[in-house]
Structure formats: C-alpha cells, structure tokens
Amino acid sequence: MTFEEFEAITRLRYQYAQSLDTRDFVLHRSLYTDQITTYFTSYSGGEGHTTISADAGYRDSSRFSTACQPRNMS
C-alpha cells in the first residue's frame, strides 16, 4: 500500500465518522458507490444475487435516521 492510498483510506474513514456524528446524510451517501450488488448465498443457500441502486438502498435506510433522533431524557 502506498502512502497516498493509506491517506485516501484514512480521509474516507474520517469523513464517514463525521457524516454520522453530524447527521450529514448527503456526505454519508457520497461515500458509497452508485450501485450495490449483494450475494445471499451464505445466508439463504441460493445461487442468486441482487443489484440495486445505492440511492434506493439509501432511501430505505432513511427510516433508521429518523429513529436515531435525540430524545429528551429529563
């Protein structure tokens, strides 16, 4: 691994943490690829795979972001 590769990975890790800490979901989405392929063979024993757009997966995960809103503990 070159120093430039190491630096790029380190920068990506910090951006990931910052996007979660600040709830910057636009930044968070920008850290991922545009298309996701998932293989469920180890889970379901099947032969298939699924390819979805990352934006579709991101919209589905928005339920998680609303569940993580701060709550008044007083």
Q: What is the pLDDT of residue 56?
A: 72
Cα separation, 23 vs 26, whole angstroms: 9
Domain containing 32: what range? 3-52
Does 16 fall in a domain? yes
Report which DSSP code applies to 46. Answer: -
Q: Alpha-carbon Rg of the chain, whole angstroms?
A: 16
Does 60 fall in a domain? no
Does 72 fall in a domain? no
Does 7 fall in a domain? yes
Cα separation, 60 vs 38, whole angstroms: 15
**End-to-end C-alpha distance for the chain, whole angstroms:** 50
Give pLDDT tens digits for 6-22.
Answer: 999 999 999 999 999 99
Give pLDDT tens digits for 17-69.
Answer: 999 999 998 898 888 888 877 777 666 666 677 787 877 765 655 444 444 44
Q: What's the chain's length in residues? A: 74
pTM given for the model: 0.54
CB distance 61 to 51 below 8 Å = no
Does 15 fall in a domain? yes
Domain total in the chain: 1
Does 29 fall in a domain? yes
Does 34 fall in a domain? yes
